[in-house]
Amino acid sequence: MRRAGLTVAARLLGLLLLVAIGWQAWRVRSYPLPDLGKSAPGGLEVRGVLHVHTLRSDGAGSPEDVAAAARRTGCDFVVLTDHDGFDALGGDRYANGVLVLEGIEISTDGGHVVALDLPNPDFRFDGDPRSVLDDVRGLGGFSIASHPFSSKRERQWRDAGADGFDALEIFNWAEDGSPLALSAVAAGLSAIVRARYGLLRATQPFERSLEFWDALTAKRRIVGLAAADAHGGLRIRGNLFIPFPKYEHAFELFRTHVLLDEPLSGDARADRSRVMNALREGRSFFALDGLALSDGFRFLAARSKADWPLGASVPLSPELRLEVQVPKGPTETVLLRAGDVVARASGETLSFTPTEKGAYRVEVYWRAPDSPVDRSVPWIVSNPIYIDLEENAPPPHESTAVPEDSVLWEDFETGLADGWRTAADSASRVSAPATDSGGGAEGSSASVVFDFRMGGNESEASRSHVALEFPPPADLARARGISFWVRTTGTYRFDLQARDRKRDGIEPWRKSVKTSPEWREVFISWDELKSYNRQSDGRFDAGEAQGLAVYLDTATVRAGTVGRIWLDRFRLHLR
């Protein structure tokens, strides 16, 4: 009897469990979510996704697959950002009716940078985050600090001094909303029943990024963006992926809405400029459209007959008002200045008269009682309107100052000293170094010159390379650094390499140098050298220097590049 009673109880418990699961599945399936593929803003408001990877780097699908997924989810544009995808830059086009913009994700020693609106340069970016930001700006590009608070240290934005980026990823779906971040079993089970519902439930708050953004915008303009960081699935190894979450799953969540000056025309080049100009100016907001459509949200500053959109810089005056228009729904709208709430409203409008200068932005929350989204995750996040904010563009990170105290080491006036030689891999070509009597730097009559053609091997294990090698001077141990003049036929980057002897062998060091067709003086302190050895003690020993070199490879210049490099007036800067 007792065993029979236990069996009946177990059956009842199992039945109750099935009922609970069935009820939860019905609740998940029946929750009203918008059909994104049948609704698009059109006109001056377009929406899209940024930061997407394809099979050209570590994604699962082709660019055409991505464009098709974007079309199915009602996107007007998509921004591809494959790792080190230089060859795709400039290939903006329409595919499947969607504007496809080509960007690039750059790995640096201090985090990842997404760069947009770039040409394919002859040189390649250095691993130093500060020089990468300088190079992107010098090329006319738009730089975004990617997943600044990633759970993986190598992906975090770790260099506090590298603050010259134009925009910041406030939300990164791969970090704040992916299945890897599922902390609740219920969210995972919901994703099985209905993918979008489960992923909405898994989306994590991102207050830390918002606080970081507010601190930055108190000083200067920084555009805030949401990133899909979509790969089309979970990568197991190589090209093997679990086909979840698909591209459309990521595209159904946070999207960027861009407010244009003119509607898209169908001409990719013109439309790229329209979208990029709006992104640069901060005329955008991002929204969790997979929860509810945010089309028609507006945030503007108004005074008498004039008004300014989000992203604008506006002078403070007693007549100025900040106006917010929110799509109809169970919403709570919050207006913030420097991260502090200054106004709050329910319903479709909010109006506020500012009395202080600063960066004002809007967060809107979806307050439906059965919403799958965490209550601290905003539905809409706007870019700021800046009131009486001084436009303080950050200065270049790379200093051009050269200390005056120096001793001339080599000026090539009497020819080339012993030990100066060139080298290359089998796929590259380089001429022997020679003195050029056609004129050097600072009015000198000669310089050293060599020609090169870079081979096409871009494998990290055996990159094509060329080098000018030369012996260190006898007084190098007394110096704190060296300087020299350089010019090149194009704009390149090369590494100034140094090698010192350590207890366990020879350790190579480097410092990236950017060149141009005009003579430029470069100073390199030993403190700036970075070791190739990850186990390095971090200190270059000039007294044990074994050699120096100007080194170019396919990590610093484009494969196939043909050029000439002149160098002159090497100096030692003594301690």
| Residue 347 token pair | 């319903």
Please give the average per-residue pLDDT across 94-106, as a whole number.
Answer: 97
List the CATH number of the domain containing 137: 3.20.20.140
How far is Cα 53 from Cα 55, in angstroms, rounded to an integer?
7
337, part of any domain: yes
Write the pLDDT tens digit of every residue in 175-208. Answer: 765 444 444 444 555 567 788 988 898 898 999 9
The pLDDT of residue 29 is 67
The pLDDT of residue 179 is 45
Is the model's pLDDT at 20 over the cut of 60? no
How far is Cα 10 from Cα 30, in angstroms, rounded to an integer?
30
What burial letters (b/e) apply to 347-374, b meaning 16+ CB within 10 Å? eeebebebeeebbbbbbbbbeeeebbbe
- 164/227 same-domain check: yes
Give the domain range for residue 266.
41-387
Confidence of residue 461 (pLDDT cuts 50, 70, 90): confident
124, part of any domain: yes
Write the pLDDT tens digit of every residue in 136-189. Answer: 999 999 999 999 998 888 888 887 677 889 999 999 988 765 444 444 444 555
Strands 223-227 and 254-259: unpaired
| Residue 493 token pair | 């980057």
Amino acid at 281: E
Q: Give, as one character, the DSSP assignment of residue 447.
A: E
Question: Cβ distance 572 to 402 under 8 Å?
Answer: no
- 381/436 same-domain check: no
Total residues found in the chain within this entry: 575
33, part of any domain: no
Of the chain, the percentage scoring pLDDT greater than 70 comes to: 89
Residues 6+ apart with CB under 8 A from 157: 110, 111, 112, 129, 145, 146, 147, 148, 149
CA dihedral 81, 87, 88, 89 (to 10 degrees): 80
Which of 84, 166, 192 has the alpha carbon at shortest distance from 463?
Answer: 84
4, part of any domain: no
Write the pLDDT tens digit of every residue in 487-545. Answer: 999 999 999 999 999 988 999 999 999 999 999 999 999 999 999 888 888 899 999 99
Provide the number of structural domains found in the chain: 2
Question: Cβ distance 132 to 151 under 8 Å?
Answer: no
Is the model's pLDDT at 439 over the cut of 90? no
Question: Can you say whether the dihedral through the CA atoms of 487, 489, 491, 492 is positive or negative?
Answer: negative
| Residue 320 token pair | 């100025």
| Residue 523 token pair | 């100073």
How far is Cα 565 from Cα 549, in angstroms, rounded to an integer?
13
| Residue 230 token pair | 């979509």
How far is Cα 367 from Cα 362, in angstroms, rounded to an integer?
16
- 421/298 same-domain check: no
Write the pLDDT tens digit of every residue in 283-310. Answer: 999 999 999 999 999 999 999 889 999 9
List the CATH number of the domain containing 412: 2.60.120.430
- 555/488 same-domain check: yes
Confidence of residue 127 (pLDDT cuts 50, 70, 90): confident
- 366/461 same-domain check: no
